[in-house]
Amino acid sequence: ANVVGVPIGSFVGQFVGWRGPFWALAALSALAAVFIGRFIPTQEQRTTVSLRAEFGALRQGRLWLALSAAMLIMGGVLATYSYVTPLLTDRAGIPAGAVPFVLIAFGVGALGGTTTGGRLGERWPMATTITAAAATALVLLLMIPLSTNAATATVLVFLMGLTGFTVNPVVTSLAMRFAGDAPTLTSALTTSAFNVGVAGGSWIAGTALDSSLGVTGPPLVGTVIAVLTLLPLIALAVRGTS
């Protein structure tokens, strides 16, 4: 989605307006629903988990720390990424037609980060997430003074995807581990945490964009949120993950 979908949506949106990609996404979603209903087999035997067990997982403090980290890291990255186009065009001087190629760089970085996080996080979960979150904060901070050059801005966008998305698979895995025998509710909460972070970070960054900070507002907001991600991660490291 990040490597192909978002860049294509950005490219198409330049010709048909911002509503066009959303209509296309709605049509593709409907088509996907038909294929899922037609070709995904029905699971005959299901493991039943009681509601008491599901909600009992919510008493696990480490679960909330993992969910907080998931929310904050996505808030930091998407606070910047949601408004990266004006940063690239107005500050870095990149033509609007070339922006989708920069978004591809972000997607490649995000794919690499997800893969890296999955591999390193299995052995060193806390070292991986803390290092990646700190690196994300540094990358977002460097965007403020260094985004005036097209090449540097492109590299930083790539690194933003690489470092930010390294955290995702690890905190998701930790949340599922802390949930124990209640994976269903925890899976939903993890997805919700990511989405709350995206919505909240984008909203705050949009306010900063409209302020005197201008296009440097979103990366500044992203930096602060990424730094805050370190708080639940360090707390998890202190409490332990086993």
Residue 99 · residue 91 · CB < 8 Å: no
Domain boundaries, the chain: 1-43, 52-239
Question: CA 93 to CA 89: how far, in whole Å?
Answer: 5
Q: What was the pLDDT predicted at 45? A: 54
Q: What was the pLDDT predicted at 189? A: 87
Neighbours of 127 (CB within 10 A): 13
Question: Helices in 60-182 by DSSP H: which ranges?
Answer: 61-81, 84-86, 99-123, 125-146, 150-179
Question: CA 146 to CA 18: how far, in whole Å?
Answer: 29
**Does position 183 have pLDDT exceeding 80, yes or no?**
no
Q: Does pTM surpass 0.95?
A: no
**Does position 54 have pLDDT exceeding 70, yes or no?**
no
* CB-based contacts of 41, cutoff 8 Å, min separation 6: none
The closest of 60, 59, 68 to 234, measured between CA atoms, is 68
* CB-based contacts of 36, cutoff 8 Å, min separation 6: none
Average pLDDT over residues 1-20: 62
Q: Does residue 178 sit in helix, strand or coil? A: helix
Percentage of the residues of the chain whose pLDDT score is greater than 90: 54
Fold classification of 52-239 is Growth Hormone; Chain: A; (1.20.1250)
Rg (CA), the chain: 19
| Position 10 confidence tier, pLDDT thresholds 50, 70, 90 | low
Q: What was the pLDDT predicted at 222? A: 95
pLDDT, averaged across the chain: 86
Q: What was the pLDDT predicted at 141? A: 96
- Write out pLDDT tens, residues 199-228: 999 999 999 999 999 999 999 999 999 999
| Position 49 confidence tier, pLDDT thresholds 50, 70, 90 | low
Residue 159 · residue 139 · CB < 8 Å: yes
Question: CA 108 to CA 217: how far, in whole Å?
Answer: 25
**Does position 175 have pLDDT exceeding 90, yes or no?**
no
**Does position 132 have pLDDT exceeding 60, yes or no?**
yes
Residue 121 · residue 187 · CB < 8 Å: no
**Does position 53 have pLDDT exceeding 70, yes or no?**
no
Q: How many residues does the chain have?
A: 242
